Every structure is written in C-alpha cells, then in structure tokens.
Structure 1
Amino acid sequence: MTPPPARRRRPGASGAAPARSFPRRGAVRRAQAITTYGVGSLIAVDHESFIVSGLDDAEESWGAGESPRIHERRLARLLGVSYFRLPPASDDTSRDGIRVRRFPLTHSCPECGDLQRHRDFDPPSGRSVCGVCEADLVPSRFVVACEAGHLGEFPYREWVHRSTDRDAASVGQCGGKLKLRTSGRTSSLRSILVSCTCGRAAEVSMEGSFRRNALRDLGLTCRGTRPWLGSSAEAQECGLALRTLQRGSSTAWQPVLRSALSIPPWSDGRADPLAEHWDKLRAREERQRVADYLDGAFPGGCPIPLDEVMTLLAAERAEDSDGEAEPTFDHRYRALRDKEYERLRAGNDESEHSHDEQFVCEAPLGDPSVLEPLGVTGPMLVKKVREVRALKAFTRLDEPDSKTRVKEMPLSDRTLAWLPAMEVRGEGVFLRLDDTRLATWEKATAVAARVERMRDAHQRRLEQRADDPSLIVPSPATPRMVLLHTLAHVLINEWSLEAGYPSAALRERLYAADDMAGVLVYTATSDSAGSLGGLVAQGEPGTLARNLRSAVRRAEWCSADPLCMETEADGINLAACHACVMLPETSCEHNNNLLDRALLVGTPDDPEVGFFTDALSF
C-alpha cells in the first residue's frame, strides 16, 4: 500500500521520469481490499491514518502482473462493466500496490498540544512527527460524513467558537491556534478538551459532538468533499446533514458487494476472450451478423466457434427478466439467482466436461429417501464452485444489504470498464425443502404471525432509513425465507463442529421465493480451509440426515434461554442470538437479520410452529 505520487517529481539523470519508488505503508490481503479496506475506507498503519484512493489512476498503477483480469459475464452484465480485476497483492515483490492518501489531515501533537494540519507541523520528509517536539503526531480521532458518502475533517475551529460569533469568515480569521489536550479524568468525550489561543472562546470538550443535529445547529452542512479522489476531484455542494464519527467506526465505510456463481455455459472460461464484445454481439440477432462482427474483431480468427457464441448469446438472453421493458437492478439480480437455482437442481456431471470446468455439481450416491422424514429433498454435492465477489460501491452511515436501496458512492470520478473483485474456488452442499410439506407449514396461523412481527419491524426500519418514500422496498421476510436462513446458520454451526471448518470459512447462499426453496452452504475462503473435500462429504444422504437432526436438536436449547426463545421484543430477529444461531458477518447474506430458531424447533407453548418438530422424535 502506497501514498499517491507527488504532483512534481525530479527527472532522472537522463532527463526521463525516474522509476516509481513510493514509500510503503503496510500491507493488506486481496480479500481485505474488497471487504474491509476498499476504496474510500480509512486504514490505520502504526500511528498514521490513510484513506484508500479511488480507481481513476489504477489503470496504470495496478500492474497487469500483480492485478490480473478476471471474468464472470453474468455478474459483469449485472454491474454494467466488461471485466473485473484482482486488487494488487501486498507482498515483498510488489512493485506498486494500492494507493492511499493521508486522511484526516488534522493532527495533534501530544507534547505541545497543537491541533492543525499535518503539513503545518513541518515534519521531516517521510515521517509523521512534530517538527519542534519530534513526538509522533496523532491523527484526528473524529471525522464527519453524510449519508451520500462524502467525508470531511471535523470542524474543530467552529466547534470551539460555537458560543461566540458564528460567522464562518470571522471564525476562520480569529488568528488563534487550536490546542487539544486530555484531562485524564475519564475516558469519555468530556475529557477531550479543545481550545483556541485567540482568547475569544473558552475551552470546550467534545461532549455532544455526536448528537445527530450537533453540527447542523452550528449552521454546518456537507460540502461534498471526497478525499479519496484527491485534490483533482471537485467538491460539489451537498447540503446534507453532517454526522460526527470515530475515525475507526464501522459506519464510516460499508462495502456494497455483489456476487455470482460461475455456472454453465460460462464456467469453463472459454468465453473470456469475448468479455469486451458482448454488448455489441447482443445487438446482432442474426447469425450472419454475429459472424461478420467476429471476423472484424478477431482478424486471426475467433477463438470460440460460432455455434458456441450463439449458445452463449441465447443463455444470456434467457436471463433477461420476462415482461420487463426496462428491468430494475433487483429484477436482474433475481434473474441471476433463478438461473443458479436451476443449475444447482439440474447438476453438472464432471465426467461430461473438461478439466477446466469450474462448476461440478452431482447427485450423491446414497439413497436420498432417508431425508424424507426431515422434509428435505434434492441434495447435491457441489464438488467445484467458483464465486466472484465484486466491490460495486460503498456507503457511509447506512448499512447496505441486498434488499435496501441506499445512497451509494462510486469508486472513481469517471466511469470505468471494470470493478475490483476477488474470486473464491471451493466446494459446497446444496439442499431443498419439500415443496408440499413447506407449503402446508407456511400457511399455519402461528407461523405467519411470528414472521409478520419480524416483517413489520423490518419494514419500519426500512422506512426510517429511506429519505425518499418512493425508494422504500418491501421487507423480504417470509416464512420460507426465515426458515431457510435459520437452517443455513444451524447447518454451518454443525459442520463447523463435525467437519472441523471454522464457521467464518463457510458461507450461505439462499434461494427463497415462491418457486424456490433451497440453500447452498459452501466454502467462502481460498486458504487451507477452502476446498479439501470435507464439506462435500457432509452432503451424502446418511451423513446429511444425521447432521440435520443434530443441528436441529442443538437449536432446541440456547444458553440464553428462556429469554432468547421467549423474546417478545419488536426486533427483526426473534429467537436468535450470538449464543445460538448468529454467525460471523462474512458468512451471512443478511447481516444476521431475519432469524428465528423457533421456526425450526417450535416453542414450548406451540411446538407445531417448528418445521422440524416431527423429526425430533426420530
């Protein structure tokens, strides 16, 4: 990870620009560059703080050898790009890496107490120390952000002078120097004291700075600053309310991730050379027009036979949303999931494909009838699976998920033909619930009543977060969705114990709709816990039936019972807590929301609410 280049650089001995050799500021894994330290996020390195730069200069700074292209046509089409790129790897052989910029610029010196911009301390080149005291400078603990995703420096000067003349011009020209000290009496904001040597304002604490309207009361609104894009990005007046945040707060940056499984006919990699041509190919319906375009685009001959190209075009058009002239993002994402569900049900036998096939899904050899008493059907062993996860954008203050519309901040100032992404290769187990039994269960009055409470609470939260009523989307909570979601969680916990996988190494993928009732549990990491065959072995019917019964029996009891099971709070979870069914956030598609183990095992007062209640007697 490196800071951005200086505006002017000295030429080399021959007069040419010298080779880049930027100081290194720490290292991150590729996965972290998507999920934790992506564009616009804040990262602490030793006693310094930086913000990850935007992608406008990444085309040249991300070397092709360290940041190769990856392809997943279905996801690329959904996100409106041609391809994806892996973030540069941070290791001893890295030439450049991910660029960062110093942020926040406001620092304080623990010795002299000065509070000012970093450059005003006149630090020696390459160091972050006070030019007078030689003490390590401390980056500001506080920043400000708005719901549109903008980020800025905390207005210390306005905060100190809030009890005096609030005219912005006079405050900025008071002539004083800001000072910051800690009284040490408590660990609260009351002990962090800021003052100005102008003498016009008394020393004030930071207490109250986190109130929702604290900065609005000072007449301050968002100025639209985007420090991750550098000084070249023009700030546009935003006008939204500013909120004070801790620099390391999780709400200061939340990634907007989208993912897709590689499924036939795209999963053998043969279509990759056509990645940047699909939009033009789709505009050509007739076979001859497609052939003419390929002849012009590939003078030496298209690497893919024309018949395969036509098959791929037909498969792509099959994912178009029916009856939607201009399908929304949600409709197109649903179509993507529909095709995955169909392929997981149909399977893809390894013996019928080449070694390059990235999706192998086969029916188990055992007798699946042992699963019938449990209401489970159609188990499939996913021996090979490739998932591509792309960083689409990011948000601040609002927590994004796949079912809410939030204000997303793009990763660059200009439109790019690619997005950063990572690929995970692993294995998994897919299973479905019996349609007849599921339909009978979800019509039960008690089941519908429990889920209705969760849906109402979730809907209220969505309405509170939406500034525009037209953007409010309905809650996805339905009996089958909550059931499948909770089932996936208890299975992941069970397989973590049974097969030795860390729970954070497993991930769920839910297929819950009127015509879908399936769940895929698969390995979510590419390290040693990735693809060893241990998870696929859990999908054999006999083993799966035993593990299902064990998982459901574990769900009968929680160390927080009876409070956990008998909760009556109007929350978006009912009988669910970190002691029973909640998982690491990397494993869950819905941020540990919409869970209720009572739908698995019932309640002491009404055991029939549980889908698997009858199975507990076996």
Structure 2
Amino acid sequence: MTPPPPRKRGTARPGAPLTTLRRLGEIRRAQVVTTYGVGSMIAVDNESFVIAGLDTWDVSRSRTLWEPRLTRATGVHEFKLPPAVDPDEARDGVRARRFPQLYSCPECRELQYYSKFNPPRDKAICGACERDLVPSRFVMACVNGHLDDFPYWKWVHRSSSQAPRDAGSAGPCGGKLRLRAEGSTASLRGVVVGCTCGVKEVSMEGAFRSQALRDLGIRCTGRRPWLKDAPAQECGEPPRTLQRGSSTVWYPVVHSALSIPPWSDGVLKALGPHWGNIQDEPEEAIRTFLRISKFEEKNRGLTVDDAIAAVRRVREAEAEQPTGDHTAPSPRDVLYQEEYRTLQHERSEGGREEVQDFVCERPGGAGTPDGIGQVMLVKRVREIRALHSFTRVEEPAVGDPASSSRRAALALGKPGWLPAIEVSGEGVFVRLDSERLDAWERQPQPRARAERIRRNHEALLRERYANTDRPVPPSPVSPRYLAVHTLAHLLVNEWSLDGGYPAASLRERLYVGDDMAGFLIYTATSDSAGSLGGIVAQGEPERLAASLESALLRASWCSNDPLCSEAAVSGAESVNLAACHACVLLPETSCETNNAFLDRVALVGTPDGAVPGLF
C-alpha cells in the first residue's frame, strides 16, 4: 500500500491574524505549586508535556501576593498567583512544551520522534495509521534535575559493535526502532524494543537499576527541556531510568510563611500592592506616591501618616535582622522563630475584619493538661506557599526541603518573582511544658533512641551531599523533636475524628529548637472553608484534655505491636522507630517531613517500662 503524501506545513499569509496558542487544559492554581509546577510532566489525553519555565509565563494580570518575611527568605521581590486564562480571550497562561519527544504507534509499532510521524496539527495521531500515538513511558533523569528522552537506540544496540559511546535515541545503523508490549506479562519483560537493522530485540527489564545506564556508557546529557533555548549543562552524575508518571520525576521545594503582625495588620496589608514602589524610597517620596495613588480614599479609616509609621516599623524590624554572619540562623529558622514568639501572645480582632490576617487568643477556662505549657487558639491565619525550585530522583533533604543539595532552576536567569498561593484557615498552637520536657530528655534512654535515628539520618545526608560542594546540614533529630512531632501527629489523627476535617485537610507546623518546643495544627485550604471553627474548638481546655488522653491511649497500643513498638528502625529511610500506618503516620501532605522522625515510645514509653515516655 502506498503511504499517503506528507502533509504540507502552512505558513501565515502577510496580514493574516496570528494563530492563538493551543489550550491544553486546566489545572488548579494550587497544583502549579505542589503537583504540576515548572519542570514537571503532565499528561493531556494521549500526549505528554513538561511545564515550561517562569520566563515564558504571562503574569501581567496575575494578582501579587505580599509577604515580606517570605521574600526576605527566598531572595525575590514578590510572589504571583499562577495566571488564570479566560477561555474566550487569546491570552497566554502557564506554558508547556512537548516532552518526551519520543512517541510510539500501537499499530505500526514505530518508535521515533513525534514530528516524524507527520501528525495533523495539534493532534497526536500517526500520519500513516491514523491511530493515537503513545508518549514514551520511560525518561532519563539525574539528581541535578536534568531530563531527557530514554536512549532506546543505545539500549537496543548495547551488544552491537555499531553502538558508539555518544549515541542518542537514533544511530548510524539505518534501521528504525520498534516497540511492542506483549500481553503475557505486565512486567518490564513484556515491553520489547527492536530495530529493523536486524539486531536482537531486548526487553526493558533491568533498565531501572541504578547503574544500568552508566554501565552502558550512557552519560547525562545535561538537558533542561522545560527552559526555552537552555544550553546543555556539564553533568557528571549518572542518569537514571524513570517512569514518566513517577513521583520521583519531580519533587517540589516549597517555602512557606505565616502572615504575622505587624505585616498581617490593616495598614501594612493595604500597602502590599504598592510595596515594590515604596520600600526603598524616602518618606517624603512615599507620601507623594500615596497621595497620588489616592491611598486614603481607597482605604477608609487609614491615613498616609499611618502608612508612614508602618513603613518605619518594617524598616526597624529589617534592620535588626543579622546579615553576612555565617553563624546566623538560616532564613527558614528565622521565619519559624518569629512565628513561635508571635503565637505565644494574644492578638485579638481589631479594626476591619477583612484586613487582619492573624487573630490569636487564649482559650476560655483555666488550666492546661499535664505536660502542656500553653495553648493558643489561632482563629484566623494566612499562609503563603511559594514554589522555589525542584529536585529529581532524590527527594529534598528529609526534615528541611529548603536545604536540598541539588535544586533545578525555574527560569534561565534568576527570577524576580515566584509562583505562590495563599491559604486561609484556623488552628491551635500547643507548647509543651519546658520543665517536664527538659527533665525527660536528659534521661539516657530517650537520648539513646533519638541517637539511633540521628545516626541513620546523618548517614543519609552524607550520601546526598557526597558529590556537592555544599556543607552537610546538621540533623534536627533529638528527643525533643521526636516528642513534639509525634504528639502533633497523634492530635491530628484525633482531631480529624472530632473536628469534622479529614486528616489530609490539616497540616502541622513544627517549632523545635533549643528554646522552642511547640507545634501549630491548622487547616490548609485555599478558600473560606478552613475557618469554620471545628479545629479552634478542640483547643478549649476540656476538649484538649479529652483529646490528649484519647490520643495517648491509642498510642499506647498499636495493632502491629509488638513489631511496631520493638522495631529497631522503620520508615522509608530508616528514620523512624515505633511508627506505622496503624498508629502514627499521616497523609504526607499533612506532615512537614514526609512522615519522618517519629517514635510514639517517646510519648508513652515501652510496655515494660525500660524506656520512659514524656507522658
């Protein structure tokens, strides 16, 4: 049968209207930060794309989010909501680029670059068979974030003398690659790749071994297909084979901060949209700018003098921040220390409700349960979450994603903004009794259990940082950390039963250090549903006492005991002790450390009393 003639690719006539960009689909704004951010792959029908870099996004109409504490920590000027696109307008939004480039046809079984199938415009269809094409299931990536098509040609010709070391997805044999899936098995042995040059067919079995590609002389190509016109980088890391839809292809590095006073109050929030224009200007220039922009008319009850006083407070606070000192706390530590101090003090409702993002009050009644030093009801809280970078193959360092040794860039140059979302909700802040905690963590048994986890975590960190120039960060594991973190998990599970929220809708924020021992459990929704009062009510003395008693009772026995309580190590990276899905673990979206650094024995002790628990 004579194949159909190739389709002609038309060009626009002079004066003809420009063709609008193809609209691939829709994703939620929160997913742009957490699931489908820059550098991640997204499937659209029978096609696959990679989300393009920030320098291709159109954010001209996106709302600016203002959070100066987070801009200071991330080194950018502002945050932008991911752009929303009106389907009736030919406007840009979040762009994507086709990846992987290799597709296969289930009818003729050819495996080649997408363009060589001669598909019709905007349709992934084989030009000869008119069957839907299938994007490659396998890609190649390295821990430095580089991404490329899987080198099928090299894989098929690995035993052939025609296989040069620099062969890519096609080679000099003159043949065409073929891919077929045998229905006899669902394993990789059933995915068979061949070539019409006559070389023996091979399956994909063994392609996922950590050294499989390296043993064949295949090196990382240094490609960054999500960045337009990005040159290939030199890379000495061995590439790994990954499933296109695997979670290991893209791990987001997300920074977040709570809006706390004074930045959460009315006048500074009203100044937020203008902050980029006034933050470095003298006071007289700020007065002039605010009068021209009609600040007082747009913000009833606020004056220009109020705004100037607020600017002074911010500048005084920024002047107190340490700079240029290698012993100073990290930006993330500074954020958490500021929040910990703020959460211990009342901040009642004042002024207009719509311009105050932080309301924190003491619970009614007297007294707190044994072992608890303080409880505060956070009746309103706002959090900004910004996508800072991402990693591949290895997830960010356990316990501190911001300290990842290998982070891939979101743009070719250093961006002045980052995509971010804001979430509003409520929560309860709990601080442990410092005297009781100090006495407990000085005992040798809790210290020995914590040291076991700490050694495993430090070995993991040394392995992650082995081929980098960055210093290995210290492990945060201590008896105090285990107690605070595990108690937060127990209360999340308990309050999900009593407060009306599923556990996946709650988040923890841990405040642990030499002078910190507390946590905030709060709702994490991007709409008003997070402020219904169901969690705040759990912080009242009587309810908290009942919740704590019930949580500790559940923790004292696990359906997997004695295996759970007597485990030498547990967890994906051996950084847990007595913790499993039947007792302590949460949905990973609820935990700061992806369910790491947990031990319920730290709270309730061992059944034989050999190791004392905090409670």
TM-score normalized by the length of structure 2: 0.90
* Offset, 1:88: 2.5
Residue 238 (structure 1) aligned with residue 235 (structure 2): yes
Name the structure 2 match of 1:426.
425
- The letter of the residue matching 2:433 is D
- The letter of the residue matching 1:310 is R
Residue 436 (structure 1) aligned with residue 428 (structure 2): no
* Paired residues for 1:46-65 under 5 Å: 46-58=45-57, 61-64=58-61
Distance 1:235 1:468, change over 3 A: closer
Deviation track 1:43-89 (CA, whole Å, cap 9, x = no partner) reads 1122211111111121xx2341xx21111111011111111111134
Of residues 126, 130, 137, the one that matches 1:134 is: 130
Give the 3-state SS of the residue equivalent to 1:258 in structure 2.
Answer: strand
Distance 1:469 1:416, change over 3 A: closer
* Offset, 1:243: 0.7
Checking the alignment, whether the CA contact within 8 Å between 2:426 and 2:522 is kept in structure 1 is yes
Name the structure 2 match of 1:218.
216
Deviation track 1:264-297 (CA, whole Å, cap 9, x = no partner) reads 111131331443257735xxxxxxxx32553676
Supply the distance in 1 between the matched residues of 2:446 and 2:141 (Cα, whole angstroms): 41
Supply the distance in 2 between the matched residues of 1:31 and 1:62 (Cα, whole angstroms): 16
Give the 3-state SS of the residue equivalent to 1:238 in structure 2.
Answer: coil
Structure 1 residue ranges without an equivalent (≥5): 1-6, 282-289, 613-618
* Paired residues for 1:582-597 under 5 Å: 582-597=585-600
Name the structure 2 match of 1:287.
none
After TM superposition, the structure 1 stretch with the greater mean CA deviation from structure 2, 159-168 or 269-278, is 269-278
Deviation track 1:1-56 (CA, whole Å, cap 9, x = no partner) reads xxxxxx997368xx3754x6333322211111110000100111222111111111
Name the structure 1 match of 2:259.
262
Checking the alignment, whether the CA contact within 8 Å between 2:378 and 2:426 is kept in structure 1 is yes
Residue 410 (structure 1) aligned with residue 409 (structure 2): yes
Of residues 380, 387, 390, the one that matches 1:384 is: 380
Supply the distance in 2 between the matched residues of 1:590 and 1:491 (Cα, whole angstroms): 16
Supply the distance in 1 between the matched residues of 2:143 and 2:329 (Cα, whole angstroms): 22
Supply the distance in 2 between the matched residues of 1:377 and 1:353 (Cα, whole angstroms): 32
Give the 3-state SS of the residue equivalent to 1:172 in structure 2.
Answer: coil
Distance 1:422 1:49, change over 3 A: same
* Paired residues for 1:117-156 under 5 Å: 117-156=113-152
Supply the distance in 2 between the matched residues of 1:483 and 1:534 (Cα, whole angstroms): 25
Supply the distance in 2 between the matched residues of 1:393 and 1:595 (Cα, whole angstroms): 27
Distance 1:351 1:527, change over 3 A: closer
Checking the alignment, whether the CA contact within 8 Å between 2:425 and 2:528 is kept in structure 1 is no
Name the structure 2 match of 1:511.
511
- The letter of the residue matching 2:429 is F
Name the structure 1 match of 2:195.
196
Distance 1:83 1:528, change over 3 A: closer
Of residues 310, 317, 322, the one that matches 1:315 is: 317
Supply the distance in 1 between the matched residues of 2:479 and 2:223 (Cα, whole angstroms): 44
* Paired residues for 1:278-297 under 5 Å: 280=280, 290-292=282-284, 294=286
* Offset, 1:300: 2.8
Supply the distance in 2 between the matched residues of 1:295 and 1:351 (Cα, whole angstroms): 25
* Offset, 1:476: 0.6
Supply the distance in 1 between the matched residues of 2:83 and 2:351 (Cα, whole angstroms): 36
* Offset, 1:463: 1.2
Q: Give the paired residue count.
A: 583
Checking the alignment, whether the CA contact within 8 Å between 1:73 and 1:275 is kept in structure 2 is no
Of residues 580, 583, 599, the one that matches 1:580 is: 583
* Offset, 1:555: 1.1
* Offset, 1:352: 6.3
* Offset, 1:150: 0.7
Deviation track 1:232-275 (CA, whole Å, cap 9, x = no partner) reads 22222323211111101111000000000001111131331443
Checking the alignment, whether the CA contact within 8 Å between 1:501 and 1:529 is kept in structure 2 is no
Residue 110 (structure 1) aligned with residue 112 (structure 2): no
Checking the alignment, whether the CA contact within 8 Å between 1:107 and 1:118 is kept in structure 2 is yes
Checking the alignment, whether the CA contact within 8 Å between 1:105 and 1:118 is kept in structure 2 is yes
Residue 361 (structure 1) aligned with residue 360 (structure 2): yes
Supply the distance in 2 between the matched residues of 1:520 and 1:202 (Cα, whole angstroms): 60
Q: Percent identity?
A: 52
Deviation track 1:589-608 (CA, whole Å, cap 9, x = no partner) reads 01100001111111112265
Give the 3-state SS of the residue equivalent to 2:115 in structure 1.
Answer: helix
Distance 1:211 1:174, change over 3 A: same
* Offset, 1:511: 0.5
Residue 86 (structure 1) aligned with residue 86 (structure 2): no
Checking the alignment, whether the CA contact within 8 Å between 1:43 and 1:52 is kept in structure 2 is yes
CA RMSD after TM alignment: 2.4
Of residues 63, 66, 70, the one that matches 1:71 is: 66
Distance 1:330 1:209, change over 3 A: farther
- The letter of the residue matching 1:252 is V
Name the structure 2 match of 1:163.
159
Structure 2 residue ranges without an equivalent (≥5): 1-8, 296-303
Name the structure 2 match of 1:615.
none
Name the structure 2 match of 1:252.
249
Supply the distance in 1 between the matched residues of 2:496 and 2:166 (Cα, whole angstroms): 61
* Paired residues for 1:540-551 under 5 Å: 540-551=540-551
Distance 1:273 1:186, change over 3 A: closer
Give the 3-state SS of the residue equivalent to 2:73 in structure 1.
Answer: helix
Distance 1:354 1:195, change over 3 A: closer
Name the structure 2 match of 1:568.
568
Name the structure 1 match of 2:497.
497
Name the structure 1 match of 2:300.
none
Name the structure 1 match of 2:38.
39
Supply the distance in 2 between the matched residues of 1:236 and 1:576 (Cα, whole angstroms): 42
* Offset, 1:420: 0.1
Distance 1:26 1:551, change over 3 A: same
Supply the distance in 2 between the matched residues of 1:105 and 1:463 (Cα, whole angstroms): 36
* Offset, 1:579: 1.4
Supply the distance in 1 between the matched residues of 2:319 and 2:205 (Cα, whole angstroms): 58
Give the 3-state SS of the residue equivalent to 1:394 in structure 2.
Answer: strand
Deviation track 1:474-532 (CA, whole Å, cap 9, x = no partner) reads 11101111111111111110000011101111000010011111110000112464111
Give the 3-state SS of the residue equivalent to 1:386 in structure 2.
Answer: strand
